[in-house]
A and B are shown apart, each in its own frame.
Chain A
Amino acid sequence: MNEYTYPILFGVIVGTLARLLMLRTDYRQYPTYLHGKVIHLALGFIAAGLGAVAVPAIMEKEFTAITFLTIAASQFREVRNMERNTLAELDEYELVPRGKTYIEGIAIAFESRNYLVIFTSLVTTGCYLVWNIYVAAGAVLICYLIIRKFMSGSTLKEIVEITYKDIHFEGAGLYVDNIYIMNIGLPERQEEIKKYGMGFILTPKNFNVRSSIANLGQRQAILHDVSISLGVFRDSGTPALVPLIKRDLDDGRIGVFILPQDNDVERAKRVIGAVPVLENAIRMPSEAKANRKGRDQ
């Protein structure tokens, strides 16, 4: 026991708790209970340890100890690779795949959350050592708020209007509103699709959103989330029964065609509204310098 024992212990515990807080298994069922969680808790513990010992190391004038943090960085980049590989492997066996953009988003979240853990432990241990445990407790609260901020991305209902539109056939062509989805030849399939299919039109609320929802990865994420939450009328060997999203080139609206097992319109709307806007799909054409100049003149 020395003067650093309690601060380090405090930092490690707070850091690990922070990781636990950020590790939610929701409808995505990822990370898997129980073993997937254990992996990330263990890594979170390591991250917390690294963050916590950094401050005492500096106080002891062991400046080289900081290089440990670089090892941590490469370690957690590996976490991102691991998540990406696992999810990409699993994706091949999904009835409606997540898509690469969604997977990349999840992998990035896993990496960045470990850095948040390091940050939390570093700040709390630092506060404990420099001032006292009460200041450290205050720092924990602030870190908690920061973490909450980082965890909550925006969802689709904030950027688009969702309206229910019936699907219909013109000849063999399947349409949602006026958006062409695909060609279904067999009358038998057409009947199935009329019975189970639902159509939704997502209208972008502004110009930036147009390009974000046009992203193929974002569209696949919508289909995946809807299929997870509402079930999907599909099996291997029935490639014609596939949920699809197509875009109206004129005004950037997208037509969502889904085949849920639960045909509740309001629920489907809620599910689509709750789909996360993928970080990698967000585009901000209005922020481009060329665009801004045009507006000033």
Chain B
Amino acid sequence: MRLELNAREREFRDRAADWLVKNVPAQARPPSGPDLVAFDREWQLRQYDGGWAGVSWPREYGGAGLSLTEQILWYEQCALFDAPEPGVFSIALGHAGPTLIVEGTEEQKHRHLGPILRGEQVWAQGFSEPGAGSDLAGLRTRAQLDGDELVVRGSKIWTTRAHLSDWQELLVRTEPGARRHRGLSFLIVPMDSPGIDIRPIVTMDGDTPFAEVFYDDVRVPVTNLVGRRGDGWKVAMTTLGFERGTMTLGSVIRLRRLIERVRVLAGERCDRRGRPLLADGETAARLADLESEAVALYALALAFVSEVVHTGRSASGTLIRPFFAELSQRVKRTAADLLGREGLSVDGSRQAAEIVPSYLYSFGHTIGTGTSEVQRNVIAERVLGLPRA
């Protein structure tokens, strides 16, 4: 065990910090729309030009070809310097890209990996369906072989940024007789294919982060299959736990910076009698709890990555997601509480404008990418070996 960086890691970190100081955009990220996409594209391209896109991705596909440790250091430094998050590229960088690196054909890798790193391809994830949310393996969207094409028919829902995306990773049923996890395939689908209809969904915070997507005989070349036909489930799960673990380190640092801002807020704001909120024992204890949990979560994520580096695997990746989701929800709830009546107006102050929507959006944390309950099932069955519910 060691936390000190070796000479090579230190050199990398210092170089990253130096670059970030000079390159992190000064202007805030636009809340939505084409401006937001333009902003994220520009930031991604700037990272690429600086040699910082895809730190651990292979060199031949445009990555920097460095180790996982450097990838983590990069995420950490980005969080410390408040660099923009991957934003509209989070699926491309966090799931589609890593999946193609492991499972894609040479042609697929060359078509997508470089462009993803240069910010040229926004990706969406087409997994959930109206009848298959937590029970993802029950999905029914079909793709039927017709010559050298697959014809997709059905619908997906909760597809993040579908209306802004160029490409989609789509999980479909290709083997009609097969049940559940068997008989699924993983497809790359251009979002401008004829037959795709997108209807945005307004969420409880008033935003439209995702959409319902309908497929009416959408024709996709069989060369867009990732992995073998029928192996889609395995392909989709290849990098899921792992990416969560590595990206979480950066997210946890961002969460700790948020806790820090909430603490400053509690020190500045006063109650009706003019006493700082932080002077209240209950508020102080609550913030101390959040801070200790965030440090523990950081330690858990670091322990997970360390185990993967040493042994190539770790069972604890699945423990991180529900912990992170629930903690970040509590942090945002605490921030909202500190606003008091100021939080009753979404745009009454700079702080309310930041905290209120972020609190409302946080309800999605324990639902998206598998509800907290499904995550607990997975931990109980796969990590602890308890019998199936």
Q: Tell me whether A and B are bound partners.
A: no
Q: Which residues of B contact A (CB under 8 A)?
A: none
Q: Which residues of A contact B (CB under 8 A)?
A: none
